[in-house]
Every structure is written in C-alpha cells, then in structure tokens.
Amino acid sequence: MANQFEYKNFTDDKNYIKLSAEVMAVRARGDRPLACIRTYGCQQNVADSEKIKGMLSRMGFDFTDTAEDADFILFNTCAVREHAEDRVFGNVGALKNIKRRHPSVVIGLCGCMMEQKHVTERLYKSFPFVSLVFGTHSLHKFPELFYNAVTFGGRVYETGVDDKTVYEGIPTRRDGTFKGWLPIMYGCNNFCTYCIVPYTRGRERSRKFEDVVNEARSMIEQGYKEITLLGQNVNSYGKNLEEKHTFAELLSEIDKIDGDYILRFMTSHPKDCSRELIDTIANSRHISTHLHLPFQSGSDRVLKAMNRSYTREKYLDIISYAKEKIPGLSLTSDIIVGFPGETYEEFLETISLIKEVEFTSLFTFIYSPREGTPAAKMDDPISAAEKSKWFSELLKTQEEIAAKRCASMVGQTVRVLVEGKTDKDGILTSRTSGNIIVDFPGSDTLVGQFANVRITQARNWILKGALA
C-alpha cells in the first residue's frame, strides 16, 4: 500500500525568513527583535512552539517571557477543555493595553483553538488588534504568514485542516538542552466522543521510521539525556506507512543507539497497547519504567459511550502483564469525572480501578463539553457541584495511594536525571525513570546529569533523598 500521506521538506524558496528579518531589524524597538511565545496545553503544542521559535530565530529574534517588551506576541492555544479556552480569551483581552502602548507590536494566535470556526469568528469580531491567526496545519507556512502580517497592515487568518501532508525539516529551537520532545506522528483517528483533538489536528499520520530514528540519533549526539516521543496515540504509530512498522519496533530501533539517555513516550491508548510493546520496554536498555496509559473511566458502560474500544477487564489485563514483566513499573493515567450520564455507581468503578492498579499519579479532569463533539449533545443531568464532590473524592483516594507508593520507596537507591534547582538553596530536583520527583541536596553542576540517590523520606508524591 502506498503512503496515504505526502511527505514534503520544508522550504523557504520565496525567502520569507530573510524578508521578515529585514523588516524586523528596522521595526524592532530594541537592538534585536524580541518574541514572547506563550504555550498552552499539551506537549504537542510545546513541540509546535519549538518549531515556531526555530523559524523566528532564523528571522533574527531573541526571546522574552515579558509580553510588554516583545515586538511579537504569540499564544499557542489549547482547545481540550473550556477552562483553557477561557484563559486564552482573558489573556488576549489583556494584550489590548500593550498594543495601545506599543502600536508596532504584532499579536498572533495559533494552535488547536484556531481550528474551531466559532473561535476564529469571535476573535475576528472582538479582537481587531490580533493581526495573525493560524491553525495547527499551517506551521510550515509561518514565515510567509508572519511576513504578510507585518507588511500588509491587514489581518492574516489561515485556518482549516490540511492533514494530508507531513512536513519534515522545519527549523526547531528546543527549549531544553538535555530534555527534548520528539514528535513521531500527528493527529488522531480515535474520535473519543468527548474529545476535540481529531477535529483540530486532523487524521493520524506517522512520520517516516528513518526520519524519527535519525532525529533521535542526532539529539543523543547533541547530548540530550531524555527524549520523549510524542503523539496523540503513539501505540498506533506506523499504521499508515508504506513500509509497515510498529511503535514497539520504533522504540527498539532507537534503544539500539548507544549513549547515556532515557527514552520516554506519550500518550498511549490502551486499545493499541500490545504485549509486544511491554516486552520491548522490559528488554530495553534506555526506555523508562513508566507507562502513561489513560483509562478515562472504570465503567464499561461509560467507556463504550466514550468510544474508547476497550473494557475495564482488557485494561486490567494489560496492566497486570506490564507489572509482571517490568519490575518497579510506575503507572500514570488520565481520568474524566462526570462524563454525560455517568452515575455515582459508575464513578465508584473508577475509584475501585485506581485502588486496584495503584497509580503513581493521575491527571484528573472534570468533563468539559466541546462544541462539535458527540458527547456535547448527550444528556448531562448531574450538576457541576455534584461532579466537584466526586472529583474531590477521587483526589483524596489518589493522594492516599500515591503517599503509600512513595513511602514504599524509602530506603531504595534510584537513578535519577537531575532537572534543576529548587527554590530552596542547594536543593536539586530530579526524576526517576518512573517519572517520580526526587529532591536532594547537591551541587548545580549535576543539573542535566544522571545521579544515584538514596531515598530517605516521602512527602505525599514527592521523594527526598541524598546522593548515594
């Protein structure tokens, strides 16, 4: 079967990068143009922002966290829950004053929210000072769109799903020097009934096997100590490729690359989480002993209504296989509380599942209706106040589980990657292979290095230790 998608290399054959650099050299308020890029939502957005920063760097930009100082302000937005959307609208509103003080500033919005028509209509009507809007499918066109926005004076809106092409070679400026994101696929085909992502990011398409492996190799050569492979559903990697490859094959190919590094991935979908994948993790040299496997709900009826394509039993089956094969495995998950029609009894099935699995930590969300998804049309009789109560019950249960799990690690010596300093003098923060935070006293020179730490104390879900 031929590839269902076209693979193209990023080009800037019309020199929009150079042209933008020339315009911005004159227009900037300081010696060099400054950009303030604010990223909301998931790691995929973080990875997209790193590409935008890569292109901006080539236009001569430096970066600032202070919007007031910037010549270009861009919000990379998230549409997954209403709360994230509200924050973006609020924060864009606040930019109006900055635009008044500095009329030359260019204000832009991109990301998942821009792929929703009701959002772009509202922006167009209510926020005339936003001059650049583009969706998740237009990253490769950013230099042209930016150039048009700064030279033509009008508003540039470029949205709409083009999910037929994978662009390689877009310049990237990674935020971290030792931890890096590596997208392996884009989009999602699952259409979970609550989720907006398939509409904002389009159909699933995998990057070519060699392109991903080569990028991983180059990151390892550059000294990256932690690489996280990214996709909405990494377990279905390779399904649309001409040359068939599974995600497990991709992991083991990268794992063969020599070096001192840890390999992570997210997000996995239980329906595609194979025993082959678990075996690959168990037999690997570099893959973390952490599995983030979102189950969303412990009730089979709710899972069906969510269109998740697995049952509680199948989920627990793969978990028990994984626990058996990977000693010290750390499990995390995403959970939605208050899906339309969920009853308290069904919610209790979620509680019983987390007690059974004993997750290290959880990402928990109250259901948020998303316009255009099937669930948004379902009857939702449970009040927000009631859902909040369930939510608190879930948090309390998980706190007890996490505390117990962490306490059981006291006395162990674990290998960690040191991530940085804490705000306490001389105390570093680090993460285990299982993605558990460990704080310990040590010198700044350890940041970005692996270290062995003996766990001395557990505080809820954070561990404290001392260099071994």
318/339 Cα distance (integer angstroms): 24
The tokens of 137 are what?
A: 């499918």
The phi, psi pair for 11, rounded to 5°, reads -130, 155
Candidate segments 124-132, 201-209, 345-353, 364-372, binder of ligand 5AD by CB under 6 A: 364-372
Judged by CB, which is closer to ligand 5AD: 285, or 301? 301
Whether the CB-CB separation of 184 and 231 falls below 8 Å is answered with yes
Judged by CB under 6 A, the chain residues 267 through 296 that form the site for ligand SF4 are 269
Max Cα-Cα span within the chain: 64
Amino acid at 206: S
**CA triple 381-383-386, angle to 5 deg:** 125
Q: What's the first-to-final CA gap in the chain, in angstroms?
A: 54
Among 114, 197, 305, 416, binds ligand SF4 (CB under 6 A): 197
**Plot region of 427 (φ>0 → left; ψ -120 to 50 → alpha; else → beta):** beta
Judged by CB under 6 A, the chain residues 214 through 253 that form the site for ligand 5AD are none
Judged by CB, which is closer to ligand 5AD: 225, or 292? 292
* 146 counts as binding ligand 5AD under rule CB under 6 A: no
Among 188, 266, 291, 326, binds ligand SF4 (CB under 6 A): 188
> Out of ligand 5AD, ligand SF4, none, which partner does residue 129 contact, by CB within 5 to 8 A per kind?
none
**CA triple 349-352-357, angle to 5 deg:** 125
273/266 Cα distance (integer angstroms): 12
Q: Residue 296: count other Cβ atoms within 10 Å of its Cβ.
A: 24
Among 201, 370, 405, 431, binds ligand 5AD (CB under 6 A): 370
Candidate segments 30-38, 198-206, 233-241, 363-371, binder of ligand 5AD by CB under 6 A: 363-371
3-state secondary structure of 247: helix
CB of 228 vs ligand 5AD, minimal distance in Å:
15
> Out of ligand SF4, ligand 5AD, none, which partner does residue 191 contact, by CB within 5 to 8 A per kind?
ligand SF4
Judged by CB, which is closer to ligand 5AD: 220, or 291? 291
CB of 195 vs ligand 5AD, minimal distance in Å:
4
Give the residues lining the site for ligand SF4 (CB under 6 A). 188, 190-192, 195, 197-198, 232-233, 269
Give the residues lining the site for ligand 5AD (CB under 6 A). 80-81, 194-195, 294, 296, 334, 336, 365, 367-368, 370
